């Protein structure tokens, strides 16, 4: 059979639905508005929170730096599950049984909310109930699953150990959690955007927020001089902007992971799967617009800005897919950025103890469909001054000594190492050595710079110093972006901000 090649450019299958529906909203520009709640970030958390609050009669403004649902929510595996790898044994050790149980119930309630809302609004979003599995192919992995299964038993979580799965290869063990789900996140969220507007809410995209200040009212300021004032602000931007207030840049681990969509004539397995062994592999199916099934292979994570030749991560997924399936085509590939907190529980609530009116949601640890929905439910309750039993669990102001201090030291030592490494790194490559469609670090007038030559041969040269805290950026050849190895900021080849915590573009040397 002829070898199938993966696409040259990244394109998310989920985002295709937004493009086909012409999903476009106007900019705020330099206008000034007053509202009850300003929500910054139009992913799953921001959109659901805006829907819930507008439904309760709140005047809501939803603001997005790029396009709505074009952040991590549009580039996910879209599993709606409370089984988050091997997490419950770990949560019990570091947080105790009560909080580990709360984490499970918060995510289960999020799943139930999505299912009920899909039925209530009659949303066609490919929502299907599926069992979720963590599987092992080694004896060491099987031992980890035994410990996790014991945690399930203690926490009264439905599940069972088995060696029977729908996978085309033998496993030493698998831990099954029944009645989980998968869906199409963009198709689920698009109707909510309509509902927000019907309820009087305002939606602005291509409107980057650069500053949030708090006096009697919070003021959200954009790079074009626009201002939104409101008593409450929710920051659901994946990585919190204005992050110095809570030192979030020092309390989050940032990774990129990859997804490759494959079409096959082989039988497509039911269920959702994640490996217990390394390297991590995620498997689920999705149905395209013609109803034919694709398999989504995910994994190959690495710290942002530290992934080497990032094209190799897609190749690794390709090799995995072809080991077990006869692949006819690879129609899509995409990658996503994920944040994990020091203790693996998201930060959801007031950004600091002294700023109750500015709230944040971050650190979903690759499980944003349920954690992100749980965040929207919690933050909406906080705005409406309702009781929520998960408030203490997710409080961003917590700082548990074990394991947080160890992780805090480790993550910041890594950032410091990358900062120094970038400053001392020598690069003797010259501009004329770059081929069309290629980027990289070069030397210009004896100084480090970043250059990209587009397919037409035109060159853009930028300062590779991150505008967040001054780390030196690396070139991501798979996504054609400049990525920060310290705190995960990402910039386009021309220097525009793609992902924070940075809010200012790179300085252009010339183009």
For the segment 459-503, what is each residue's pLDDT rounded down to a tens digit? 888 988 998 878 888 888 878 888 888 877 888 888 888 877 788
Task: Name, in order, each residue with C-beta under 8 angstroms of 410's C-beta and a sequence gap of 6 or more.
Answer: none
- Find the Cα–Cα–Cα–Cα dihedral 157, 344, 110, 290, rounded to 10°: -100
Global pTM value: 0.87
- Assess whether 504 and 355 both reside in one domain: no
Residue 395 sits in a domain whose CATH number is 3.50.50.60
Is there a single domain that holds both residue 391 and residue 450?
no
My answer on whether 360 and 501 are in the same domain is no
Q: Indicate whether 362 and 492 sit together in one domain.
A: no
CA distances from 350 to 64, 221, 347, 356 (A): 20, 19, 9, 5
442 and 502, same domain (yes or no): yes
276-312 pLDDT, tens digit per residue, is: 999 999 999 998 767 789 999 999 988 877 757 778 9
Helix (H) or strand (E) holding 321: helix 311-324
Last residue of a domain, one of 399, 416, 443: 399
- Is residue 111 in a domain? no
Give the torsion sign (CA, 110, 71, 273, 488): negative
Asked, for residue 93, whether it belongs to a domain, the answer is: no
Give the pLDDT confidence of 45-104 residue by residue, as tens digits. Answer: 999 999 999 999 999 999 999 999 999 999 999 999 999 999 999 999 999 999 999 999
Query: Does 133 or 407 have the greater pLDDT score?
Result: 133
Q: Provide the CATH number for the domain around residue 499.
A: 2.102.10.10
Cα 24 to Cα 26: distance, rounded to the nearest angstrom? 7
Number of domains in the chain: 2
* 35 domain-assigned: yes
**What's the pLDDT tens digit per position in 119-157?**
999 999 999 999 999 999 999 999 999 999 999 999 999
Query: CA-CA distance, 41 to 476, in Å (whole number)?
Result: 24
Is residue 227 scored above 80 in pLDDT? yes
Same domain, 455 and 503: yes
* Mean pLDDT of all residues in 20-32: 93
| Averaged pLDDT for residues 23-31 | 94
pLDDT mean across residues, the chain: 89
> Is 153 domain-assigned?
no
Mean pLDDT value of segment 146-173: 97
Task: Please report whether residue 356 resides in a domain.
Answer: yes
Q: Is 501 found in the same domain as 362? A: no
Decide if 220 is inside a domain: yes
Say which residues have a Cβ less than 8 Å from residue 252's Cβ, sequence separation at least 6: 239, 339, 340, 341, 342, 362, 363, 411, 487, 488
247 with 381, same domain: the answer is: yes
Judge if 441 and 497 occupy the same domain. Answer: yes
Lowest average pLDDT, out of 303-307, 432-436, 446-450, 463-467, goes to: 303-307
Q: 381 and 435 in one domain?
A: no
Domain span at 63: 25-76+186-251+344-399
* Measured distance CA(66)–CA(45) in Å, rounded: 16
pLDDT value at residue 500: 75
Tell me, yes or no, whether 489 and 449 share the same domain: yes
What was the pLDDT predicted at 402? 44
- Tell me whether residue 139 is in a domain: no
Residues 390, 494, single domain; the answer is no
């Amino acid at each position: 059979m002829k070898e199938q090649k993966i696409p040259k450019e990244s394109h998310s299958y989920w985002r295709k639905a937004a493009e086909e529906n012409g999903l476009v909203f106007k900019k705020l520009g330099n206008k000034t508005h007053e509202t009850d709640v300003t929500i910054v970030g139009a992913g799953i958390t921001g959109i659901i929170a805006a829907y819930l609050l507008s439904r309760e009669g709140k005047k809501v403004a939803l603001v997005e730096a790029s396009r709505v649902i074009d952040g991590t929510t549009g580039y996910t595996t879209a599993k709606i599950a409370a089984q988050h790898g091997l997490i419950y044994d770990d949560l019990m050790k570091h947080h105790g049984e009560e909080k580990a149980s709360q984490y499970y119930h918060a995510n289960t309630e999020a799943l139930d909310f999505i299912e009920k809302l899909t039925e209530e609004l009659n949303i066609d979003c490919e929502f299907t109930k599926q069992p979720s599995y963590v599987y092992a192919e080694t004896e060491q992995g099987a031992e980890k699953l035994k410990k996790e299964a014991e945690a399930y038993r203690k926490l009264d979580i439905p599940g069972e150990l088995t060696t029977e799965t729908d996978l085309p290869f033998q496993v030493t063990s698998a831990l099954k959690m029944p009645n989980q789900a998968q869906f199409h996140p963009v198709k689920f969220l698009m109707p909510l955007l309509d509902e927000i507007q019907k309820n009087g809410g305002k939606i602005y995209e291509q409107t980057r927020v650069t500053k949030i200040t708090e006096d009697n009212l919070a003021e959200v300021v954009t790079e074009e001089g626009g201002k939104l004032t409101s008593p409450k602000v929710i920051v659901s931007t994946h990585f919190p902007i204005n992050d110095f207030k809570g030192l979030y840049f020092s309390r989050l681990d940032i990774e990129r992971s990859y997804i490759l969509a494959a079409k096959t004539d082989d039988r497509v397995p039911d269920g959702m799967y994640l490996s217990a062994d390394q390297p991590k592999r995620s498997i689920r199916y999705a149905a395209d617009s013609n109803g034919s099934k694709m398999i989504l292979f995910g994994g190959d994570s690495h710290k942002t800005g530290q992934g080497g030749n990032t094209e190799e991560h897609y190749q690794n997924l390709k090799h995995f897919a072809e080991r077990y399936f006869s692949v006819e085509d690879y129609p899509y590939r995409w990658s996503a950025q994920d944040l994990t907190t020091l203790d693996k529980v998201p930060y959801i609530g007031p950004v600091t103890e002294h700023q109750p009116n500015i709230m944040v949601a971050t650190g979903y640890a690759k499980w944003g469909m349920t954690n992100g929905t749980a965040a929207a439910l919690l933050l909406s309750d906080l705005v409406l001054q309702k009781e929520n039993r998960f408030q203490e669990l997710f409080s961003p102001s917590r700082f548990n000594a074990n394991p947080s201090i160890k992780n805090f030291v480790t993550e910041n030592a890594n950032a410091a190492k990358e900062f120094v490494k970038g400053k001392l790194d020598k690069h003797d490559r010259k501009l004329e050595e770059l081929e069309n469609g290629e980027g990289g670090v070069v030397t210009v007038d004896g100084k480090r710079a970043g250059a990209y030559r587009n397919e037409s041969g035109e060159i853009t040269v930028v300062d590779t110093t991150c505008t967040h805290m001054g780390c030196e950026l690396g070139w991501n050849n798979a996504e054609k972006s400049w990525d920060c190895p310290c705190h995960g900021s990402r910039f386009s080849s021309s220097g525009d901000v793609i992902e924070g915590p940075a809010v200012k573009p790179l300085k252009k040397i010339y183009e």
